[in-house]
Structure 1
Amino acid sequence: AILAATEDTRFEPVKLEELPQIVFTIYILTQPCLVKDLKELDPKKFGIIVKSLPIKYEAVKDEEVIFNGFLPEKTGVLLPDLEGINTIEDQILIACQKAGIDPFSEDFLIYKFEVQKLKENEN
């Protein structure tokens, strides 16, 4: 969180005098599950993780492909229920864009997860 607030090149660093105006939100993610069919996805309910496959990836049984917590070279995460993301296709394209994956020429896996959202000053 500190690095995101001070060193994320997409945004200006947070200044000390801005801290009282900042509202913090924490997203607790469930264990990601491998998506076997795109019909399982719902961009309002599930976030997704896209992971590039190793160059020498050989087909394996679905149950052998698990999320082990290690991030490969290209990984993108997109939270659920984001404004302007209404379709599964949009969700996948944006997650791939964040990861630097070309969804039309690279193989990748999709995992889904749910979130519990905790916002400052909410019970």
Structure 2
Amino acid sequence: MPKQAAVSVHDPLILLARQAVNCFIREAEIVAVPDPLPVEQREPYGIYVSLIKAGKLRGCVGHVRPKQSSLAKEVIYTAIAAAVNDPRFSPVMIDELEQLSYVVDVVEHLALLKNIDAHDPNIAGLRVVRGRNQGVVLPNASGITTFEQQRQLAYQRAQLTLDTPATLERFQVRRIIELSGNYQLTVS
């Protein structure tokens, strides 16, 4: 079932991502996990955090499976990584902070891809895995309109040739977009 993007100004996950990046860039510190932790942020989830500047991707990092003990902690560490560890971009500078908008994708329903014909890249993401190699393409990625395009990009990101046998997994995301006028509906 497709999930619609929640466009929000004050979503707690967006606010937490922004706070984490601002604190890390301005003070070189990691913001504390909220206490008490809201119930909806206690369970671990895989997430992706995208930073958008002037309508263009400025950083995106994440994992389909959680690496931290809670969603809140995952948002903090993933947002910081998107700001300073995306190898496609230089680290975010302090003078850029006010220009950034945030997108948080909470990964849901990760499962083996069983029916390629029913796979819609606008609704479902794709993960290609072979050993330690993996490539992920989020749903509704910019320029991706077919399963084959999504598969090719996932294989490329996994550094695999298209004829290499690999496990294909599909997933959906609950996309939360900061309403600022400075975002894009698709991510890369």
Q: Same-fold call, TM > 0.5?
A: yes
Amino acid at match of 1:108: A
Deviation, 1:110, is 0.7
Q: How does 1:1-123 map to 2 (within 5 A)?
A: 1-52=79-130, 72-104=131-163, 106-121=164-179
Moved more, 36-45 or 86-95: 36-45
Distance 1:87 1:80 in 2: 11
Name the SS for the 1:13 alignment partner: coil
Q: Distance in 2 between matches of 1:121 and 1:90?
A: 29
Name the structure 1 match of 2:183: none
Q: CA deviation at 1:121?
A: 3.7
Q: How far apart in 1 are the matches of 2:140 and 2:179?
A: 21
TM-score (norm 1): 0.76
**d(CA) in 2 for partners of 1:2, 1:40:** 35
3-state SS in 1 of match to 2:109 = coil
- Over the residues paired in the alignment, what is the CA RMSD in angstroms? 1.4
Unaligned runs of 5+ in 1: 53-71
Unaligned runs of 5+ in 2: 1-78, 181-188
The amino acid across from 1:114 in the alignment is Q
Count how many residue pairs are aligned between Structure 1 and Structure 2: 102
- Compare the two structures and name the one with the higher strand fraction: 2
**Amino acid corresponding to residue 11 of structure 1 in structure 2:** F
SS at match of 1:91: helix
TM-score relative to the length of structure 2: 0.51
